[in-house]
Amino acid sequence: MKKQENYIREQLTNELKPSFLHIENESYKHNVPDDAESHFKVIVVSNNFTKLSLIKRHRFINELLGAKFFQSVHALSLHLFDESEWKKENISNIQTPDCQHK
């Protein structure tokens, strides 16, 4: 059903108008039911991040998604870039480790 994934996409798209957005449900890497939506990797490129420190970017996303969202999501791996940073980044380097308790 992708309820959580769609929620993430909607919130980030509406607020940030990203030039690049990648959302990956990584729940399959963890000890959860097959249809779980509990672990996500999110890559966002938006010039709204240009003057924000890394911690402020993360806080912004956490506040945007809201406390209720985090009641059902266990992990959110955020990779947040402005356009100039993104041009320097290699997407193949952005990996999330597998859960040790799978």
For position 21, which CATH number holds?
3.30.300.90
Contact assessment for residue 44 and residue 20, using Cβ atoms and an 8 Å cutoff: yes
Domain membership of residue 53 (yes or no) is yes
Instruction: Dump strand ranges (E) for the chain.
Output: 20-25, 39-45, 75-81
- Total count of domains within the chain: 1
**What span, in angstroms and rounded, lies between the C-alpha atoms of 51 and 70?**
26
- CA-nearest of 102, 48, 54 to 78 is 54
Residue 100 lies inside a defined structural domain of this protein: no
One digit per residue, the tens of pLDDT, for the chain of length 102 reads 589 899 999 999 999 999 999 999 887 676 666 776 777 899 999 999 999 999 999 999 999 999 888 888 888 899 999 999 998 876 656 766 566 554
pTM of the model: 0.83
Residue 94 lies in a domain: no
Structural domain of 8: 3-38+47-87
Whether residue 75 lies inside any domain: the answer is: yes
Q: Which of 24, 11, 18, 27 has its CA nearest to residue 66?
A: 11
